Structure 1
Amino acid sequence: MLNLLIPHDLPQARPERPGTALQPMRLGGSTMGTDWSVTCHMPRGMQADTIRDAAEAVFAEIIRQMSTWKPASLISQFNRLPLGGAIELPAAFAHVLEVTLQVAAATDGALNPCLGAETSRLGFGPASDSSVPHETAHDAWRTLAPTGHTLTRHAAYQLDLSAIAKGHAVDLLAVALRDLGITRFLAEIGGEFVAGDPKSDGLPWWVDIETLSAATRWRVALCGQALATSGDYRKMRFENGQRLSHITPHPAAAPADGDLASVSVLHASCAMADAWATGLFASGPATGLRLANAHGIAALFQFRDRPAAPSDTLKRMQD
């Protein structure tokens, strides 16, 4: 069964006039441990390398600031600071932290950027100070209060913004494309999407949400919006018969919540979609669906052994 999701504010189809000097282009590569791609209609005469160079510059800056795998990155430097030490935050880092804290507060810490040590302890991150008490890290996000552009390390935790950094990178990639005069595009990093204006034929960019079953599909019409998915259906491992996820569940999540495989979120911002997808997944399906409905989030909850559950906002998009 195919479920079509069409946002109510989808722009009216406006095809390019005949003779408009645009040419289709698709290119991609690897970054941040995954793949990226851009499908676009670019001005004739523009070289694909121009787009590639702009994309690589975006990725390099995000990695320089927020990669926990790079010892020289800004976030790694922060994690090595003694208590009371501080760093100056560049714009991208500050924005990602702001989005993170907004969703952390809305989800009562289900989205928690202070669990880097726990992620590493479970085998999903780089080696770090695993001596940070689990309970301490769960509350440490409340101490993340930048003063202007300065962030001080007030508690012993390992900051990890990986849940949102990739989404923000797609947002910045979209900005870079528009700066090049490319407005009709679909940009993607590892399954996180941002769409610009409709395609040259006036139709939206149709994106299929990845599903566990071929029997049911969810297809989204994207124009000027973003789609992000978080889950453990790909990134997990088993230890002593227990499923371990790279997304640490909220302490209040029930054991039965392990049936949840992924959460996909549609939003104007890919960073925000990424943040909500992770926060809702970590909350568990019951609390996550309640939060999505309370905050008007368009979200799809997919399970391993039962039908998917759309939020109220997403239901209103079903064609």
Structure 2
Amino acid sequence: MKHVEISFITINYNSSQHTIELVNSILLKTIDVSYEIIVIDNASELKDFLILREFLKDIEKVKLVRNSINAGFSAGNMLGVNYAGGQYYFFINNDCKLLNNTAGILKKFLELNKEVALATAQILDANNNYSSSYKQFPHLLKQLFGNSAQRKFSKNKFPSNKIRVVEPTQVEVVSGSCMFFRSDVFCDIGGFDTVFFLYCEEEDIAKRVWDTNRKVFFVPEAQIYHEAGGSTEQGFVMQREFYISYYHLLNKHYNRASRLLLKSALFSKLFFRMFKKKMGMKVFLSMLGGFSEKNSLRYYQKVKKNNE
């Protein structure tokens, strides 16, 4: 395998135009580093895949891998890792575009700060406004009283994602749309937990980085554009999938008492939302069923043959 410094890894699922625009932005903006681009097609419709394959066929830096099943975010990215040879893994949603030498900036920051294992860039939306590049891990104080109370009483004074941060800053969790990893650390902690089909992967893996006494940082000099919602459609099924993942996150990282308190806080939240939000009743009924993993989208996928 040819040595490269950075392996870009992205997933395409029936959104070839987004992937094409991402690849173009990488080719245009990434300078002074060696890199490869690994595109995992997560069993898109044949028409979409063929459009993507035709565009990528003559780009030497790109490896396109056709998955026979929609494996979701975690497993799709882990498939990409199998083809990655970089010192750094840059996991980036296909509905993003680089706005500057994002990868080069993040690489330089990690080279200068050996204790940092995971970093993210400043994310901008369609109106050029600052979007959410980082967030907090679920905490009981946060569930009961909001982010402000959590930050006030936490021993780690992580910044609010509602203020503009202009210097590299420690954060608790980075956006899953843009994760820049030291590949050795990523592999050492086992990579993404593939039980997560969609959602909460970033909370889980950031928590595991912190548990190894390494740091997570937001680097605002690096910038990307993210078309929020471009890679998934919203609706009841997606809301249910989020809470299935959220329950898995709580069950994995909290003791029994903490899980009970956090789930009780969520019960109250969803009970009152039932009367205010569209599909609130369906979501609440799903909670009464324990947001069972058997309802996850991972169990509704079909294997596609090579010609499908």
TM-score calculated relative to the size of structure 2? 0.24
**TM norm structure 1:** 0.24
Compare the two structures and name the one with the higher strand fraction: 1
